[in-house]
Homo-oligomer: A and B are copies of this chain.
Amino acid sequence: MAKATSTAPEERQRDAERSQAGILAAARDEFAEYGLAGARMDRIAERAGLNKRLIYYYFEDKERLFASVLEQAYKDIRQQERELHLLDLEPVQAVRRLVEFTWHYYLDHPEFITLLNSANLHRGRHLPDIERAQALNSTLVDTLAEVLERGRREGLFRGGVDPVQLYVSIAGIAYFYLSNNHTLSAIFGRDLLSPKARNERLSHMSDVILGYLLRS
């Protein structure tokens, strides 16, 4: 009650968590659009509707802000991957679902792609320390390994498939198409993002991955 008379925590401006989250979102968009070097702290503050000084107050400097954005981006995709529940599906369906998820995730989160590119341009200098990074990930590869093993046992999939290699291939087939969308569109003179083109790409991706995995 007493609270209601003043501004409630969710509404007031002086809310550290909300400010930090706002900065992170603004920074994510800015870094995604311009890369690390091209991003402007001024624009991030403006996007967040907050004082520039506050960014330094919470995130120290541009590099650490970038690292925080990256970590958040990893957390988000890992979280969604975890919600796939691949082990509840038949192996073929599970692989198809992973391919579809990967495709749609990159399609819906174009910022993730450019953030990753920036992170790698800077040689991974901004990655969270190894343990945290691995902790974020291991689940999916383990799950994929289990899916592959089940499929193999059922006589559906070929054996000897390294889940890491496969995961990288699935991601790569989706990522490259979207990441290099502009150059590819120019070179091939096609709009690669038209609804039709998207469908065709997803279809092709599934064909490649399952064509490779399935025993004839």
A107 within 8 A of B: no
Would you give the shortest CB distance from A137 to chain B, in whole angstroms? 5
Would you give the shortest CB distance from A173 to chain B, in whole angstroms? 5
Q: A37-B35, A127-B183 are in contact. Are A208 and B204 (CB under 8 A)?
A: no
B residues near A158, Cβ cutoff 8 Å: 211
**Which of A36, A165, A189 has the most C-beta atoms of chain B within 10 angstroms of its own C-beta?**
A165
B residues near A54, Cβ cutoff 8 Å: none
Q: A35-B37, A35-B121 are in contact. Are A168 and B184 (CB under 8 A)?
A: yes
What are the 5 tightest A-B residue pairs by CB atom distance, in nearest-first order? Answer: A216-B216, A172-B176, A124-B182, A37-B38, A211-B212
Q: Are B127 and A117 neighbours in the complex by a CB distance under 8 Å?
A: no
Q: Are A171 and B176 neighbours in the complex by a CB distance under 8 Å?
A: yes
**Which A residues are closer than 8 A to B by beta carbons?**
34-38, 114, 116-121, 123-124, 127, 130, 133-134, 136-137, 141, 158, 162, 164-166, 168-169, 171-177, 179-190, 200-201, 204-205, 207-209, 211-213, 215-216
Q: Are A179 and B36 neighbours in the complex by a CB distance under 8 Å?
A: no
B residues near A211, Cβ cutoff 8 Å: 158, 211-213
Q: Are A180 and B120 neighbours in the complex by a CB distance under 8 Å?
A: yes
CA distance A19 to B189 in the complex (A): 34
Contact of A35 among B35, B133, B172, B213 (CB under 8 A): B35
CA distance A212 to B173 in the complex (A): 13
**Binding site secondary structure of chain A:** helix
Q: Are B212 and A117 neighbours in the complex by a CB distance under 8 Å?
A: no
Q: Are B134 and A189 neighbours in the complex by a CB distance under 8 Å?
A: yes
Would you give the shortest CB distance from A39 to chain B, in whole angstroms? 8
CA distance A188 to B133 in the complex (A): 9
Q: Are B177 and A172 neighbours in the complex by a CB distance under 8 Å?
A: yes
B residues near A204, Cβ cutoff 8 Å: 162, 165-166, 169
Q: List 14 A-B contacts (CB under 8 A).
A: A34-B121, A35-B118, A35-B121, A127-B186, A130-B186, A133-B187, A136-B187, A158-B211, A168-B184, A169-B204, A171-B176, A172-B175, A175-B180, A208-B212
